[in-house]
Amino acid sequence: MKTGRILVAGLVCGILLLVGCGKDVSTDEFIFHDSESVAETEANAGDDELSNKTKYIGTLQHGVNWAADEKDYSFVYEGGALEIPYTINGSGICTSVGFLIYINGIPQPYMIKDTEEEYKYMHIIEGDENQEVDFTISFTPVTGKTGDKVSLRIDSIANPSFIPDMTNTFDYGMSHQALEANYEILFQKDAETMPKVDDVICLLKTVCTQSTEIDKDEMEYMTGEAKPDLDTPVYADLKIDGDSMLLDRKSDISGKDKVHIAYIMMGHPGMKYRICFYLNHQLLTDESGDVCELELATGKMSILEFDMDVSQVTDASFYAVAVPVNAEDYPDDPISTMKFPSIHLYRGEN
């Protein structure tokens, strides 16, 4: 039996257990330890295989509900809407899950069949503790020509509605962490015209990309090492008005009508990523509506910069998602979508 290619993105120091799977196929478990939670061991009572330092914030399984006769575990597009039977099972903070979908790195609006919701880039699925929820994802692909075989990436966002209130909570904790399921679509017909989608906010101005020589201080800050391996790993940083958000994931925008964003990547030479930005899970664009691409190169930092209008923003989650578009060129490397940790934009003056 074959599983989808399941990779965890952005969970370096997590304490959230996440699982990606296709229904009726084997799954792998990803367990994250919190070394500072020695006293919180009730969740591990009776489990001799796990350290008593493990703390569970939630669990999540999600994947395609494959038909019994499915052999290739991939999709074929033959025109019209593509329908994907899907299933999730969560506990803890993962009883509420949002999904982002990408085709060949391009964000894909979609519907949940048999609901009244319109096409959106994220739909939130609410479930009960450890209860399976089945639903059908429906969409017309945004890209694809006859004969193309491209990636379909379905990324879950844990507890997507959570935003720190700056009184009792000051960061996201394990909320908004991502888990990816990766499949393929074979196009036997060209993609058709998508219905108009209003789930886009045009806030980005003067977007530009550049490639510069790696700054040693920047490299050490991003990687934590003076001489890191830049052949296979990929590193990213996001700066708001020159301040890195790697550690301090909040930004006071008091008195500001715009902020300057710089998204920086370095590492794995030859990898290409399409970069998407979201505000409260709505896709952000400039007037062109295009998705910008960064290509990584030896000895270089790839940078995407723009100004963002925040004149109407008072309390919001902001994040970037970097989606690989040529992972198939490096089949032996662990390449997945990279979601930058959510950043809280707030006005401290309020």
Which pLDDT belongs to residue 42? 32
Other Cβ atoms less than 10 A from the Cβ of 196: the count is 8
pLDDT confidence of residue 297: 98
Alpha carbon separation from 86 to 41, 234, 305 (Å, rounded) = 33, 30, 36
pLDDT of amino acid 36:
37
Q: How far apart are CA 274 and CA 175, in angstroms?
A: 24
CA distances 267 to 228, 229, 320, 337, Å, are: 9, 8, 17, 14
Domain edges within the chain: 5-187, 200-346
The highest-level CATH class for domain 5-187 is mainly beta
Residues whose CB falls within 8 Å of the CB of residue 266, separated by 6 or more in sequence, listed in order: 214, 219, 222, 230, 234, 235, 296, 300, 301, 302
One pLDDT digit (tens) per residue for the chain, 350 residues: 233 323 233 233 333 444 444 444 323 333 333 333 322 223 333 444 444 445 668 888 899 999 887 778 889 999 999 999 999 998 889 999 999 999 999 999 999 999 988 999 999 999 999 999 999 999 999 999 999 999 999 999 999 999 999 999 999 988 999 999 999 999 999 998 877 787 888 999 999 999 999 999 999 999 999 999 999 999 999 999 999 999 999 999 999 999 999 999 999 999 999 999 999 999 999 988 889 999 999 999 999 999 999 999 999 999 999 999 999 999 999 999 999 999 999 998 76
Rounded CA-CA distance 175/67 in Å is: 32
| Fold: same for 5-187 and 200-346 | yes
Instruction: Give residue 67's pLDDT.
Output: 85
Contact 35, 21 (CB under 8 A): no
pTM above 0.85, yes or no: yes
CATH number belonging to domain 200-346 = 2.60.40.2550
Q: How long, in residues, is the chain?
A: 350
Sheet of 58-64, strand order: 19-20, 58-64, 82-92, 131-139, 111-112
CA distance 140 to 150: 15
Question: d(Cα 241, Cα 305) in Å, to the nearest integer?
Answer: 11
Note whether 279 and 203 are within 8 A (CB).
Answer: yes
